[in-house]
Structure formats: C-alpha cells, structure tokens
Structure 1
Amino acid sequence: MPRLIRLYLSSMMFGAVLGVIFAVLLVAFDIAGLRHLLFASPAGWIGFFMLIFFHAALFAGVQFGISVMLMAEGGRKPPSGRVVFSNISRPKVLVESTAGSRDRKKLLPDSHGH
C-alpha cells in the first residue's frame, strides 16, 4: 500500500475514533441535555447516530489535515512573533542648523491671525 494512502487511512481512523469518543462523552455527561433529548424521543437513535457520524467525520478530517501539515519539509524554524533587528542603528550625519539666527517673533503667527 502506498505511504500516502496508509497515512490517510490511519489518520482518518484515529480521528474517527476520537470523534466517537467525544460524541459518546457528550451524551454520557448529558451536556446541554443531549442525553435527555435523545432518550426521550422515539427517534432519538437517529439523532445519536447523526451525532456520532458527524463528529467522527469532523475529527477525522481535522486529524488528516494535521497529519498533512506536519509533513512539511523541516530544517528551518517557522517564524514566531515580530522580527527584531538588533544590529541596525541610525546613521550619524552632520547637518548645519540655521534656526537660531532668525527672530522668534517672525516665525510664530500672532494671535490675531496676521
């Protein structure tokens, strides 16, 4: 059997088992009154089957997705958080300033808008 088919089947089965366990625990602990709703109705077995089936399908798909994403090529660390540039500094440039030679009253507008 090819490696990818084996990966697909094993991860789907593992996820389906987790989904069934999760659905059974939901009913066993009567979360949101599910056990009462399922056992009080004559067609409750259909709801129980659907709960188990769809949770198994959901968990199987998620497990397979996780398995595929973990197959990515290694060798480099994935990025985490912001990049910090510690070796970068601002260049030092000499600039001639002429601001001190002007009259301060001419630079600021007066309070009347003139």
Structure 2
Amino acid sequence: MPELIKLYIRQCFIGFGISILFVGMLYAFDIANLWSLVSTSQDGVLVTAMLVISNAVVFCGVQFAIAVMRMAEPHDDKRDGGTPARPHPRLQASTIPVVRRPDGHGTRPTERIAF
C-alpha cells in the first residue's frame, strides 16, 4: 500500500479518536445541557453517533492537513546557496508627488509611500 494512503488512514484513526474524546468532553461538562437531552431521549445513541461521525469528518481532515504540512522542507531565505533573495522591484518604496490644494494647505511636496 502506498505510504500516502497509510498516512491518511493513520491520521483518520487519530482524528476519529479525537472526535470521540471531544464528544465525551461535551457530555462530561454538560455543555448546553447536551448530556441531559441525550440521556433522556430515546434517540440518544443516534444523536451520539451523528455527533461523533460529523466531528470525525472535521478532525480527520484537519489532522491529515497538519500531517501533510509538517512534511514540508524547512524554509530557506537564500536561493542559490549563498545569495540572499531580493525583493521584487515593484514592491520597493517609491517617491510619489502629493498634489497640493489650491488654498496652499497640504504637506510636503513629496512623500515617500511604500507599496
């Protein structure tokens, strides 16, 4: 089996476990009287299964995304092994003239504005 599939299945198991823990904590702390509602309802098992599965979808996706992002190589600010990366010329600061109002109010004739 390819390594990426193994990684995905492993992360899904972890996400499913986190989902079970999360729903258990929701019930333990009785947030929004959730445990009271589920324990007195006839459909409590169905509601619990729906909560676990819907949270598992989210937590599995997040867990896999974190695992994939952690596989990236460390960022290096130097391009060719020794020369530092230079900013793009269009992103450097430039001098733009400021238009003065006819009544003479305004600031200096030019200001340095960085884009």
**Superposition TM-score, scaled by structure 2 size:** 0.62
Deviations 1:79-99 (A, max 9, x none): xxxxxxxxxxxxxxxxxxxxx
Q: Which amino acid aligns with 1:36?
A: S
Task: Tell me, in whole angstroms, the C-alpha distance in 1 between the residues paired with 2:4 and 2:74.
Answer: 18
Deviations 1:30-61 (A, max 9, x none): 11110011112111221111111111221111
Q: Flag structure 1 segments of 5+ consecutive residues without an equivalent.
A: 78-107, 110-114
Structure with bigger strand share is: 2
Q: Which amino acid aligns with 1:41?
A: S
Task: Tell me, in whole angstroms, the C-alpha distance in 2 between the residues paired with 1:10 and 1:16.
Answer: 10
Matched residue count: 83
Structure 2 residue matching 1:66: 3-state secondary structure: helix
The Cα of 1:76 is off from its aligned counterpart by: 2.0
Q: Which amino acid aligns with 1:53?
A: I
Question: Which structure has more RCO (C-alpha within 8 Å, separation ≥ 6)?
Answer: 1
Q: Which amino acid aligns with 2:39?
A: F
**Displaced runs of 4+ in structure 1, greater than 4 A?**
none
Q: Which amino acid aligns with 1:21?
A: L
Structure 1 residue matching 2:12: 3-state secondary structure: helix
Sequence identity percentage? 41
Task: Tell me, in whole angstroms, the C-alpha distance in 1 between the residues paired with 2:45 and 2:19.
Answer: 17
Mark the structure with the bigger radius of gyration.
Answer: 1
Task: Tell me, in whole angstroms, the C-alpha distance in 2 between the residues paired with 1:5 and 1:68.
Answer: 12
